[in-house]
Amino acid sequence: MKRLKKLTLGACIAALCAGAAMAQDARFVGWSYSEASSKPFIENEAAKVDGVDVELIGFPWNQMVQNLILRHRSGQTTEVAQVQDRWMPMLVGMGALADLNDTLGADALADTVEPGLLAMGQSNGGQYGVPWTAASIALVGNRELMEAAGVTELPATMEDFHAALKKIKAADPEAVPFGLSTTNPNLIQVESQVFFWQFGARFFRDGAVAVDSAEAREALAFLVQLVDEGLVAKGNDRNATRALYGQGKVGFYFDPPVARGIARNLSGEGEAFDENVVVMPTPTTGNGEPPRSVVWAHFLTSLTAGSPDTEAAGKVIEHFAMKPDVQLRYWNELGLFPTTKAALAELSDDAYVANWIELARDALPDEPAAFENSAQLTQIIGEEIEAALLGIKSVDEAITDMADRLEGAL
């Protein structure tokens, strides 16, 4: 009897130990968990990750990067972290992110994830983030407004674009033909840089300031001309523009793929408004630069600090970012684009998704994001462009001052 008791006790202890060994823990830090719209989805999916107890930690988007850096510096273990594309270079540079090729396998990643999107999370041969949702910030047009103005084809060149804007203004003087942000330096920088690229200008080349160029002046002069002609409204930012777009009062504006979902809500027409929402290539200038847009992606990463359970991290990332059914649920519930080949294939009939993914192939990463003090650089660029757009400075003064200030900040 005694022996039997001992055996039973031993079996119980062994079972407990085995259970403890099987249940892995992972901390998943992200801003989406702090947002009411995506919180239920993340909670549901986190509960489904095989053999891992996922502790969810949410921070608002605008506090996320600071909290990630603080967690890294203070050695707090973070198996999985949601990271915006523009923070990636800085976090990789700090050595804060683990190479996920070691955890998930380069071949498995390449087999599963759309190659162009997967490449966004690579740096120096390492895979530091797996795209959870990705596309780009690109031009969105309003088909109904264009047709009403007699714009029958999407403008392919800057001349066509200029002409289309004039037609829209002539057809509806109260409309904002182009809803470029002219207030809020952060938005101004992100949106205007697409035009700088299209004209062949860059803010930085090889880590040095390169904005003091004829191409940059040409790009800024073009945008200033649009403002002066009333084709771009002063005092607008993307939020105000989205509201006007939903009311059919904006011809074109820049947005990530959430544009269609927002337009559904703000138009009050729901999915019936979808046919108006058209994503389009940025008009070109004939200098060989393909239609550019700005990389926009949410990555799942793993921080190196503390003692992360890399296997648990891999399981969580695999569940959220590599399983097509989970990705399609994310798309259905929140309208965020999937990143796996299989999930994208399921959506190939949706022109909105297909066009956007096609455009994203020529998207470039946000330029200041490559630097540690990207917030400062973004602010400087945005302020100087804003000064030119509002007529506070001439184009030449704005570009010269921008170059001087960027030199001082690097």
Partner 1 sequence: MASHPQNPVRTGPVGGHPRRPAAPAHVRRQSRFGLSIVLPALILFVALLLVPFLRSLGFAFFESTLFSPEPKFVGLENFRDLFSDRVFLETWLRTLFYVGITTGVTVVLGFAWALVLNQAFTGRKVIRTATILPWILPSTVTAFLWAWIFNGQFGLLNAVLDAAGAIGAPVVWLSTPTGAMFAVILAKVWLSTPVAMSFLLAGLQSVSSEEIDAAMMDGCRAGNIIRHVILPHIFPTLVIVFVLQAMANFQQIDTILAMTRGGPARTTTVLSIEVYQKAFNEWDMGHASAIGVVWFLTLAVPTVVYLRAIFKRF
Q: Closer to partner 1 by CB, 310 or 376: give it.
A: 376
* Backbone torsion region of residue 234, taken as left when φ is above 0, otherwise alpha when ψ lies between -120 and 50, otherwise beta: beta
Q: Which of 84, 101, 123, 379 binds partner 1 (CB under 8 A)?
A: 379
What angle in degrees, to the nearest 10, is found between the helix axes of 310-322 and 324-334? 60
Q: Closer to partner 1 by CB, 37 or 225: give it.
A: 225
Q: Which of 234, 311, 332, 410 binds partner 1 (CB under 8 A)?
A: 234
Q: Closer to partner 1 by CB, 74 or 307: give it.
A: 74
Q: Closer to partner 1 by CB, 123 or 379: give it.
A: 379
Tell me how far, at minimum, the Cβ of 258 lies from partner 1, in Å: 23
Q: Closer to partner 1 by CB, 66 or 265: give it.
A: 66
Buried b or exposed e, range 341-351, using 16+ CB within 10 angstroms: bbbbebbeeee
Q: What is the dihedral of CA 346, 349, 355, 361, to 10 degrees?
A: 30
Three-class DSSP category at 132: strand
- By CB under 8 A, is residue 73 in contact with partner 1? yes
Q: Which of 215, 255, 309, 386 binds partner 1 (CB under 8 A)?
A: 386
Query: Rounded to an integer, what distance in angstroms lies between the CA atom of residue 221 and that of residue 355?
Result: 29
Per DSSP, the residues of 392-407 read SS-HHHHHHHHHHHHH
Q: Which of 157, 392, 396, 407 binds partner 1 (CB under 8 A)?
A: 392
Q: Which of 84, 183, 304, 355 binds partner 1 (CB under 8 A)?
A: 183
Tell me how far, at minimum, the Cβ of 383 lies from partner 1, in Å: 5
Q: Closer to partner 1 by CB, 72 or 167: give it.
A: 72
Three-class DSSP category at 141: strand
- By CB under 8 A, is residue 376 in contact with partner 1? yes
What angle in degrees, to the nearest 10, is found between the helix axes of 214-228 and 185-198? 120
Q: Which residues contact 338 (CB under 8 A, 6 or more apart)?
A: 133, 324, 327, 328, 330, 331, 344, 346, 347
* Footprint of partner 1 on 306-345 (CB under 8 A): none
Q: Closer to partner 1 by CB, 27 or 393: give it.
A: 393
Tell me how far, at minimum, the Cβ of 368 lies from partner 1, in Å: 12
What angle in degrees, to the nearest 10, is found between the helix axes of 185-198 and 374-389? 80
Q: Which of 129, 155, 185, 314 binds partner 1 (CB under 8 A)?
A: 185
Tell me how far, at minimum, the Cβ of 96 lies from partner 1, in Å: 10
| Piece of 81-89, 109-117, 141-149, 384-392 that binds partner 1 (CB under 8 A) | 384-392
Measured CA to CA in angstroms, residue 205 lies from 340, 360, 370, 382 at distances of 32, 22, 11, 18
Q: Which of 45, 84, 94, 310 binds partner 1 (CB under 8 A)?
A: 94
Tell me, what DSSP letter sits at residue 114? -
Q: Using CB under 8 A, count the residues that bind partner 1.
A: 28
| Piece of 17-25, 210-218, 229-237, 271-279 that binds partner 1 (CB under 8 A) | 229-237
CA dihedral for 88, 93, 96, 99, sign (positive or negative): positive
Whether 213 contacts 405, CB under 8 Å: no
* Footprint of partner 1 on 33-72 (CB under 8 A): 66, 69-70
Q: Which of 84, 101, 184, 400 binds partner 1 (CB under 8 A)?
A: 184
Contacts to partner 1 by CB under 8 A: 66, 69-70, 73, 90, 94, 182-185, 233-235, 240, 372-373, 375-376, 379, 383-384, 386-387, 390, 392-393, 405, 408
